[in-house]
Amino acid sequence: MDIRMDGKVALVTGGSRGIGLGIAQRLCESGADVLLVSRKADGLEQAASTLQGLDGNVAWEVGHVARAEDAVRATNTCVEKFGRIDLLVNNAGTNPYMGPLLEINDVLMAKTVEINQSSIIHWAKAAWDAGLSEHGGSILNIASIGGLVPEPGIGWYNATKAAVIHLTSQLSYELAPKVRVNGIAPGLVKTELARAFWESGEERIAQQIPMKRLGVVDDIATSALFLLSDEASWITGQTLVVDGGTTTQSTGGVG
């Protein structure tokens, strides 16, 4: 399936690396213009340079996803640079704590919720106000299979990803028929965020996955392109599990 996104404009949070950059690349390759958002200008500048020369144009804006005012500013910048916004990818996330749930402190609980969960609302509202309410569009939220199954050590992160899955369903109900809202729940993908989980035992972990390999960024990016496109025009409120079959077993993996 050759999916084209010519004339579409996307904003991708956490767009300077990993899954966010992979999705941005797929969008640019398909003809969409893309605004990358992340916290550090140097990372954004480097990411944007890797996308130069593709079918779509690329720009970037520094912003912190936990700040509602940054969401408003970035979506307005997107409209100023490209004339509109059609697609929002809520990809940015964090996992500042590993350990038992009963030992996490309030600061780390709040930080994880603000970045992984509350940001979904901030950026959806900003995109809605910046044009989605008028001409419609599509929102994609990046969750995790950890939002579906319990795992040791990352229970609070997983709780926020479970919230992302519910917010995807809830927003799809509230924003229809103008805007479709879907999600992707990745399994263990070889990204910097997940490096601690796979670096020391990639082959061993791969043997525990039915497809016998870890995920790569493009596994998620190709699924994202489909869900954001008009090819998925009757799909909304769904979270697609992309995990090599991990959740068909009794325990999950990290995404």
Which residues are tagged catalytic? 157
Retrieve residue 210's tokens: 């039915």
Report the sign of the C-alpha dihedral through residues 254, 87, 240, 116, in that order. Answer: positive
Question: For residues 227 and 242, what is the distance between their CA atoms, to the nearest angstrom?
Answer: 13
Q: Dihedral through CA 157, CA 161, CA 162, CA 168, nearest 10?
A: 160
Q: Given the structure tokens 């720009």, which residue do they identify?
A: 59
Question: For residues 213 and 224, what is the distance between their CA atoms, to the nearest angstrom?
Answer: 20
Contact 123, 13 (CB under 8 A): yes
